[in-house]
Amino acid sequence: MGKIIQVKVQKGGLGKSFITATLGHLISLVDKKVLILSTDSQNSVYDMFVKEKEKVEKGLIDSILNENLNIINLRENLDFIPLELKKKFSNKIIEKIPNFLNSLKEKYDFILIDSTPAIELDEIFVQNADKIIIPAIGDKLAVNGIVNIIKENRNKIACIVFNKYTNTRVNKAYYREMKELCDNSGVFMPEPIKCLSYIAELVERGETIWEVSSKKVVETQDIFKEILKKVY
């Protein structure tokens, strides 16, 4: 049976899709079959793998309702189900999610969920996830959010990932505060993922950090390899 990994956020702008896409691609490269689900109609994960994405006609909601997987193949061993535009998760759809996820676990080794902050929808994925990854950035709301998430979901948290890190006094202080919080709670927190213009260039080209040999991404690659150990 496959594992479900939720990348959980309490607000936008934390780089959840980058984390989901990068980790998903890494897992696929170790010969595991991976599916990424998007609960965000922006479908930013798709952007990480293509220069221009096609219009999404049928996606996650249709897959849940009709048990017909609307899969986009991103790379070898790596599939993606986007979310349709202007469609919402009704109570009927939310009720079907647990059975839908269980059926996916029979087909894939890992299912990664690129999550949204919508409370009811988020909660159903938390309940069904095997592990949770929490992206964070250097601000007060992120710190407060992490405190609450650790209290509520300590046993499922694989790691907390400080993303978009810049070498400033403020970011250093927030990272130290979060790291101390995680250490005291027994939660793994790797080195921060630096905000690199080179990674933004890769996204524009539809490439991931696993498809280049530049020294600029070695540190980021090493961080994701550490994250992999916590979810594998």
Contacts with 20 (C-beta within 8 Å, 6 or more apart), sequence order: 7, 36, 45, 112, 113, 114
Q: Residue 117: phi, psi to the nearest 5? A: -75, 0
Please tell me the total count of domains within the chain. Answer: 1
Task: Find out whether 128 and 101 touch, Cβ atoms under 8 Å.
Answer: yes
Give the span between the Cα atoms of 173 and 210, in whole angstroms. 30
Amino acid at 26: L
Q: Say how many C-beta atoms besides its own lie within 10 A of residue 63's C-beta.
A: 20
| Tokens (6 digits) for 12 | 């936008």
pLDDT digit string (tens) for the chain, length 232 residues: 899 999 988 777 788 999 999 999 999 999 999 999 999 888 999 999 998 888 888 999 999 998 889 999 999 999 999 999 888 889 999 999 999 999 999 999 999 999 887 767 888 999 999 999 999 998 888 778 888 888 888 889 999 999 999 999 999 999 999 999 899 989 999 999 999 999 999 999 999 999 999 999 999 999 999 999 999 8
Domain that holds residue 172: 3-231
Residue 216 carries which DSSP code?
G
| Tokens (6 digits) for 58 | 């049928």
Contacts with 130 (C-beta within 8 Å, 6 or more apart), sequence order: 3, 4, 5, 156
The CATH number of the domain holding residue 152 is 3.40.50.300
**Strand, coil or helix: 190:** coil
> Taking the model in full, what pTM does it have?
0.95
In degrees, rounded to 5, the angle at the alpha carbon of residue 213 between the alpha carbons of residues 209 and 219 is 60
**How far is residue 159 from each of residues 128, 154, 219, measured CA to CA in Å?**
17, 10, 17
Tens digit of pLDDT for each residue in 53-106?
888 889 999 999 988 899 999 999 999 999 998 888 899 999 999 999 999 999
| Tokens (6 digits) for 122 | 């988020």
Burial of 54: CB neighbours in 10 Å, binned 0-12, 13-18, 19+: exposed
Give 3-state DSSP helix, strand, coil % of the chain, rounded to 5: 50, 15, 35
